[in-house]
Amino acid sequence: MRRGALLAAALALAAGPAAATEDLVSGLSQDTVQITSNYTGTDIVVFGAIEHPEDVGRRDVVVVVRGPDADMTVREKQWVAGIWINRDQAKLIGMPSYYFIASTRPVGDIAPSDTLQRYSIGLANIAPERIFSHHDPAPFRAALLSHKQQAGVYGETQTGVEFLSPTLFRAAIPVPATVPRGQYNVEVYLFRDGTVISAQSTPFFIDQTGLERRLYNFAHESPLSYGVSTVLMAILLGWLSSLVFRRND
């Protein structure tokens, strides 16, 4: 929650009294994504503008999107008695289930590493609340990052924020079909010469909709009826097929 408090402080700073200070406004192309049966992924567009820009320094915009927190277990296969089986493991509590970052240039060039770490900006700076492991967690963490990147739920584009004019910017956030449901937060940071001068956070929601949602709820809320219904469906279809394909013998 340290990060949340910092963000709130940054927001308070940005909402300071002087009307003429440099500020940030941003919005999203949509505030909900409904995962329907034929959902194959979409983009959400973040757009924004710098208000009252002062004519000093170099500006950078960083967009960070975080999905709902999840607990992740990373297991490592080892060679035991001729076969490869899961042996060592690390459990990372409170990792974002989705993380995407876009910036105007590589974040390492934008701000010093302690600033990036403080705001959890960049894949390297995602920190779980707790790690349980009997071993050095670093390789497990690295494996987790590469797995999530391959799955398309962690991503980094170093030039993803595009300035359309000196004050107007946009960035596209990919939302693949594999993302979990829940609340996502889009944090937009305005840097000037390596310091955060303004920040804004906007949520959007990802939800399963229609039949899929109802089936998911059914399976989790009344699993016995769900299981029995599935069996009845199977028995009915099996019986129907024997009627349809009844052979004359």
Partner 1 sequence: MEIYLPIAEMSVHWLIVLGMGGGIGFLSGLFGVGGGFLLTPLLIFYGVPPEVAVATTSSHITASSMSGAIAQWRKRAVDLKMGGVMAAGGLVGTVAGVWLFTVMRRNGQMDLLVSASYVILLGTIGGLMLNESLAALRARRDGAPPARRAPHLWMHGLPFKMRFRESRLYISVIPPVLIGFAVGVLSAIMGVGGGFVIVPAMIYLLRMPTNVVMGTSLFQIIIVTAAVTVLQATTNFSVDVVLALFLIVGGVVGAQFGVRIGARLRGEQLRLLLALLVLAVGLRLLFGLVLRPDDPFSVTTVMP
Nearer to partner 1, 20 or 244 (CB): 244
Amino acid 19 reads: A
CB atoms within 10 A of CB 74: 19
Nearer to partner 1, 90 or 101 (CB): 90
- Residue 242 CB, shortest distance to partner 1, in Å, is 4
- Residue 137 CB, shortest distance to partner 1, in Å, is 12
- Residue 203 CB, shortest distance to partner 1, in Å, is 17
Nearer to partner 1, 7 or 92 (CB): 92
Strand partners, 27: 47
Nearer to partner 1, 92 or 196 (CB): 92
- Collect all residues with Cβ–Cβ distance below 8 Å to 149 and sequence separation of at least 6: 123, 155, 156
Nearer to partner 1, 13 or 177 (CB): 177
Helix or strand run (H / E) with residue 27: strand 23-28
CB atoms within 10 A of CB 111: 23
- Residue 217 CB, shortest distance to partner 1, in Å, is 9
The tokens for 234 are: 């199977």
The alpha carbons of the chain give a radius of gyration, in whole angstroms, of 24
Q: Which of 207, 227, 209 is nearest to 218 (CA)?
A: 227
- Residue 190 CB, shortest distance to partner 1, in Å, is 32
The tokens for 212 are: 């899929």
**Which residues lie near partner 1 (CB under 8 A)?**
35-40, 68-79, 82-86, 89, 97, 139-140, 143-144, 147-148, 177-178, 180, 182, 208, 212-213, 215-216, 219-220, 223-224, 226-231, 233-235, 237-239, 241-242, 245, 247
Q: Which of 34, 26, 29, 32 is nearest to 44 (CA)?
A: 29
Nearer to partner 1, 3 or 75 (CB): 75
Sequence length of the chain is 249
Helix or strand run (H / E) with residue 213: helix 210-221
- Residue 200 CB, shortest distance to partner 1, in Å, is 27
